[in-house]
Every structure is written in structure tokens, then in C-alpha cells.
Amino acid sequence: MENKLKVGISCGDPNGVGMEVVLKTLADNRLLDSVIPVLYAHPEWFKQTKKSLRLEEMLYTNVASAKEAQPKKISLVTVSKDLPFSIEWGKADTKGGEWALKSLEVAAQDLATNAIDVLVTAPINKETIQSKNAGFIGHTEFLAKMAGTEEVLMFLVADDLRVGIVTGHVPIKEVAAKISKPAIIKKVQMMRDSLVKDFGIPSPRIAVLGLNPHAGDNGMLGSEEKEIIQPAVREMVEKGWMVYGPFGADGFFGAGTFKQFDAVLAMYHDQGLAPFKTMAFQNGVNFTAGLPIVRTSPDHGVGYDIAGKNLADESSFRAAIYTACDVYHARRRFKEFGMNPLQKQNIKESRDDKRE
């Protein structure tokens, strides 16, 4: 029991599908055998959602903080007693944004103080959460700022398919100006570190996509590949990293070339996320690499169009919980291995003994 991880869950926008996918996930009692879930929300949020899902028998326990959460129970931390609460499914409004932000803030604070082990975030509306001058674009930027980390990597993962991006939430007209040799090398370095520490892949193979159609067609369709991306790849290869490219993005996924690599670095948001979500929408997970804490989320948005209709698929949210736990344990194994410098020597000695 004491080895179960406390999984903090920020419930996102109350007018979206966040709480729906949370409760559908927790309705499978097998999950309670594996983790201790802590929800950051409002009791009415929980009650109204479970009623709409016909899950009236689902129980929860009110706790003052995550430290009081117990195994085999769903614990709920009321994140605010001051904000008025109401659900208007499918509506993008400032009240929903306030609750989404409050849920995230309280959960993140508990994560920072080790009251919870990992954080799984339900979807927010980036526009409504800005209404109270939140000062960030999305979860990734919020957590990076809170952790004092200047740069992180948006890493989409689903089984053996892993896709990261150089530029994140920026307009497409600004992408080319943000593509640079140092930026590419930095993102690949973060990707390599994450594959080793978070996913247990000791010698990762990474593919780098081009920016332009057909990876520039030898300079005929753009110069970024010749002037920026190829030199970056060469420098990384000289470091001894297994990095390949740039590959033309159009046929890379359709031809199955991605299967030859442990991860793929795309140049911009939709170049990487569109094929990823096409192939792995139901079990894809958004993981923030480069943070000192573990945070995951489902790979979908607030789903206003289906909110309150019992139509949302919880598969991605369930995968986000298990991925967060897997990464947490992988980091602990990596740390324990690094703290034992005699381990490699002992392995070598045992091999020598066998030879004798």
C-alpha cells in the first residue's frame, strides 16, 4: 500500500470534458489498486459530473490536503471556497477559466512540496484561463515557470511512438525565425536525456524532420535544411549521438519510417502533432520533458462540443496516469543506478568469475 503513488489530478475547465474523462477512468476499480488519486476541484463539480454519467454509486472523500489521501479511495481537495461555482457544459467563459487555473495552481503547489508524486492535468481553454492574467499560454509554460526552468520539451508519447517539437505554441508565420542550430541541438539533447532517464532507453536513435516540403529539395524549396538543420545534425553526430535527418515530413510517418527510431523531432507544432494524433489519438499522452517533476496530460482538448453528453473517450487520460507512474519509477531506477558506482564493477567481476 505504501508504495502506491499519489497521482494529483487538476480537473481542467469545468465546462469541458475534463472531469468526465477523470471519473470514467476512476470508475475502473483496478486503477485504485495501483494508485492513490487526488482530485483538485469542487464537490459540486464531482457530483454533477457523476450524475450525468450515471455513476451515482461512485464515492469520494473530502480531504483538506493531499497528505490525508488514503489508498483505495478517491480523495477530493476543494481548491477554493471563495469562487462561485457552476457548470455550463460547452460554454467558454471566464468563470471556467478561473476554476481551471485554481485547480492547476493548488495541484502544482502540492507537487512542489511532495504532497503528491506526479501530476496529470485535464484540458484547459488557453483563452479563458488568460482572462485573469495567468501570464502563461498553457500547462507546459506554467509548470516551466513555476519550476524555474527556462526551456522544456513538449513530448507526445504512445507506446513506441514519441514525437517532440522545436517550436511549440507559436503562430506558423513565426516558426522559421525560431528555427536555429542551437535550438535544435538543445531540443535533441533534452529528448535524449528524457529517453534515457524517463523511458529507460540507454542509446536512443532520434530522427529530425525538415522544415520545408521534401526537406527543402536540396535548397529549391527553402534553405533552412542546408543552412541550419543539416549542420545541427552533423554536430550532434560528431558528439556521438545517434541522430539522423533531416527527413521530409510528408512521407516519414505514412511510410512507417518512424518505427526505425526511438523518437522524432519535428520543427513545429502541427508537423509533429497532426500525424501523432492521427495514429495515436485514443492512447496518446502529452508529457513535459525537462521538468524536475513528472507531468502528463491527455492529447486532446476541452471538447466543448461533446461536454456533458457522456461521449468523451477516457483512454488517453488513463494512459496519461500510467505513463506518469512509469516515468516516475524510471527516474527512480536511473537515480538509484547512478548512486551506486560499484554496480558496473560488480557486474564485471561476476562475469570474470564465470570465465574462471
pLDDT tens string for the chain (356 positions)?
A: 457 999 999 999 999 999 999 999 999 989 999 999 999 999 999 999 999 999 988 999 999 999 999 999 999 999 988 888 889 999 999 899 999 999 999 999 999 999 999 999 999 998 887 755 556 667 877 888 887 888 899 999 998 899 999 998 889 999 999 999 999 999 999 999 999 999 999 999 999 999 999 887 888 888 999 999 999 999 999 999 999 999 999 889 989 999 999 999 999 999 999 999 999 978 899 999 999 999 999 999 999 999 999 999 999 999 999 999 999 999 999 988 776 555 544 444 443 444 34
154-279 matches 1-149+291-356 in CATH topology: yes
pLDDT value for 350 = 42
Q: Indicate the pTM of the whole model.
A: 0.88
pLDDT value for 308 = 94
pLDDT value for 36 = 97
HSE-up of 38 (CA within 13 Å, CB side)? 29
pLDDT value for 137 = 64
pLDDT value for 218 = 83
Sort strands 61-62 and 118-121 into parallel, antiparallel or unpaired.
unpaired
Options 3.60.40.10, 3.40.718.10, 3.30.565.10, 1.10.645.10; CATH of 1-149+291-356 = 3.40.718.10
- pLDDT tens for 145-195 read 887 888 899 999 998 899 999 998 889 999 999 999 999 999 999 999 999
Q: Which fold has domain 154-279?
A: Isopropylmalate Dehydrogenase (3.40.718)
pLDDT value for 356 = 41
Per-domain residue ranges for the chain?
Answer: 1-149+291-356, 154-279
| Rounded percentage of the chain residues whose pLDDT exceeds 70 | 92
